[in-house]
């Protein structure tokens, strides 16, 4: 169980870089999406159990996982692109609560402690409620991103395999085919510019292994614990803000991080 918890925490650390990446890479969402689907599929295809994958991909769970993954990637990229970071993060981190709601679990008050910690962490970021009014599309996109994140949790749990490369391949194969077909003419004439090469590298290393660890944790952690551990991602957002954007370290943010850590420890 300890290894599963560590896998979840490391995965959140890696995947929390994605919003920073989306906002700063300077590539269209279409190319970012293609590079993600392509790199995930090519690399995971080297490690999968082909008989299992072939039998599972066309099952209802396999098709749903692929479809929901495509929706999730577009809506999360679009939501973080349209909304200010503080608004986007606070709305996206509703997904652990959505997981508990879908699972019909008894609401644990510890979740409120973690949510208050999230509020303290993002409260100094630009957080203008009018951003939601100005960008209803952004609101819809980020809420769909949170909902699809929660749904992916249950779909992965429903596909029973100990080789989590299988989960990744099933999630991304059809999307890779779709995007590669749609942009075929562009891809064959495309130069791997610095930004596109960086996108492929980030997806192949940070994103791919982040999701591999996340899928490992999904299959091994109890739902309440998995949901609360998900809030660790917002702590890493704060850490990355200090490292990459030179944001100030404030006592209320440290306190917010501690509240999230305490809420996690209380469920161990």
Taking only the tens place, the pLDDT of each residue in 136-176 is 888 899 999 999 999 999 999 999 999 999 999 999 999 99
> What's the mean pLDDT when you consider all of the chain?
83
Residue 267, pLDDT > 80, answer no
* DSSP codes, 60-122: HHHHHHHHHHHHHHHHHHHHHHHS-HHHHHHHHTTHHHHHHHHHTPPPPTHHHHHHHHHHHHH
- Predicted pLDDT at 22: 62
Lowest mean per-residue pLDDT among 55-59, 100-104, 148-152, 181-185: 181-185
Query: Tens digits of per-residue pLDDT, 209-242?
Result: 999 999 999 999 999 889 889 988 888 888 887 7
Q: Say which residues have a Cβ less than 8 Å from residue 246's Cβ, sequence separation at least 6.
A: none
- Predicted pLDDT at 104: 81
Q: How far apart are CA 142 and CA 189, in angstroms?
A: 33
The more confident residue out of 262 and 54 is: 54
Query: Tens digits of per-residue pLDDT, 83-111?
Result: 877 778 778 888 988 998 898 877 677 77
Q: Say if CB 169 and CB 48 are below 8 A apart.
A: yes
Q: Record the pTM.
A: 0.86
The more confident residue out of 187 and 157 is: 157
Q: How far apart are CA 111 and CA 124, in angstroms?
A: 21
């Amino acid at each position: 169980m300890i290894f599963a918890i560590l896998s979840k925490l490391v995965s959140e650390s890696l995947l929390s870089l994605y919003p920073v990446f989306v906002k700063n890479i300077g590539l269209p969402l279409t190319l970012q999406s293609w590079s993600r689907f392509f790199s995930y599929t090519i690399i995971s295809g080297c490690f999968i159990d082909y008989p299992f994958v072939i039998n599972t991909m066309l099952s209802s769970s396999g098709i749903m996982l692929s479809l929901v993954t495509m929706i999730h990637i577009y809506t999360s990229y679009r939501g973080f692109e349209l909304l200010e970071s503080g608004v986007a993060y606070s709305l996206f981190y509703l997904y652990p609560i959505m997981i508990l709601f879908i699972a019909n679990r008894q609401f644990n008050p510890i979740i409120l402690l973690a949510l208050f910690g999230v509020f303290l962490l993002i409260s100094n970021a630009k957080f203008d409620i009018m951003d939601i009014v100005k960008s209803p599309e952004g609101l819809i996109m980020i809420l769909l991103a949170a909902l699809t994140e929660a749904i992916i949790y249950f779909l992965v749990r429903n596909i029973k395999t100990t080789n989590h490369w299988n989960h990744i391949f099933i999630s991304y194969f059809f999307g890779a085919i779709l995007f590669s077909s749609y942009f075929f003419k562009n891809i064959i004439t495309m130069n791997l510019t610095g930004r596109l090469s960086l996108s492929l590298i980030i997806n192949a290393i940070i994103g791919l292994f982040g999701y591999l660890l996340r899928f490992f944790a999904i299959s091994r952690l109890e739902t309440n614990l998995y949901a609360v551990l998900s809030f660790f991602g917002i702590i890493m957002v704060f850490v990355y803000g200090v490292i990459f954007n030179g944001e100030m370290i404030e006592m209320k943010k440290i306190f917010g991080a501690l509240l999230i850590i305490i809420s996690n420890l209380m469920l161990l």
